[in-house]
Amino acid sequence: MTVADLDLDLDVFAGPFDLLMAVVLREEIDLAEVELSAVVVAYVEHLEREGELELEVATEFLVLIAALLELKSRLLLPGAEEDLEELAPEEAVEELLARLMEYRRYREAAEMLRARFEGQRGYLYRSAPLPPDLRRVALDGATAVYEPERLAAALGDLLTAPPPLDVSHIRPTVSLEKRLRAIRDALTGKPSIDFDEQFGGEDRLTQAVTLFALLELYRKGEATWKQRQPLGPIEIRRVAG
């Protein structure tokens, strides 16, 4: 429940609190005749029925009721001219309206800041330096934590360039598609080729993938091979399309 929905039953008014504010601002009801203490009692009774205090709603109510009390006190108890200049009714209404609008702006700004704070809660960090008083340290009171030689060795290790990485154990990537293209290019314009003559200079991994590519071409009906004796030369033949 918001302050605007607070039901009031006064001698000169009955209805929600926001309607009371509206009729007071339009001067349909004289603020001097409104019992603001009864408004406070109604809000306290509402809190007792609900059994829960909403700080935001309570803050809004306190600001509004304080503005009405100050305005009513100026209307009922004007001081001497040298102490407090008496306000005309229209000036008093404008002052209250200005204060309510100012409170609304501050409330919206606070809501925006709260939303940004909640949205960036996981990214908060301290970026401001320490105050000068806390950064003043007496040299006489400072004690050595590490030996100078050990500190110099640590800094020297940080400044030393690391040795280049040894990548000799990393083999180049050999894809089946590339070896298929290599066999097709070798058979272009030739009826057959010798495997060792064509691919004997490649490394063992490349030769193994090339054999898998030859099996793939055989499955597709593009090439076949012949090996007359075990461990003998392999003759790859192109199948005429």
pLDDT 10s digits, 149-203: 888 888 888 888 888 888 777 767 788 888 898 988 888 888 888 888 888 888 8
pLDDT over 50 at 77, yes or no? yes
In eight-state DSSP terms, residue 12 is: S
* Average pLDDT of the chain to the nearest whole number: 77
pLDDT digits (tens, 9 = 90+) for 7-52: 787 777 778 877 777 777 776 777 778 888 888 888 888 888 877 7
pLDDT digits (tens, 9 = 90+) for 78-93: 554 443 355 555 565 5
pLDDT digits (tens, 9 = 90+) for 95-132: 667 776 776 777 788 888 888 888 877 776 666 777 77
Q: Hey, what amino acid is at 51?
A: G
Confidence at residue 142, expressed as pLDDT on a 0 to 100 scale = 62
In eight-state DSSP terms, residue 4 is: G
Give every CB contact of residue 5 below 8 A, 6+ residues apart in sequence: 16, 17, 18
| SS3 assignment, position 167 | coil
CA distances from 56 to 3, 111, 203, 217 (A): 10, 10, 77, 77
pLDDT digits (tens, 9 = 90+) for 175-186: 888 889 898 888
| Rounded (10°) CA dihedral 173, 174, 176, 180 | 140
Assigned token pair, 33: 């005749």
Confidence at residue 39, expressed as pLDDT on a 0 to 100 scale = 84
Residues listed for the chain: 241
- Cα-atom radius of gyration of the chain, to the nearest Å? 45
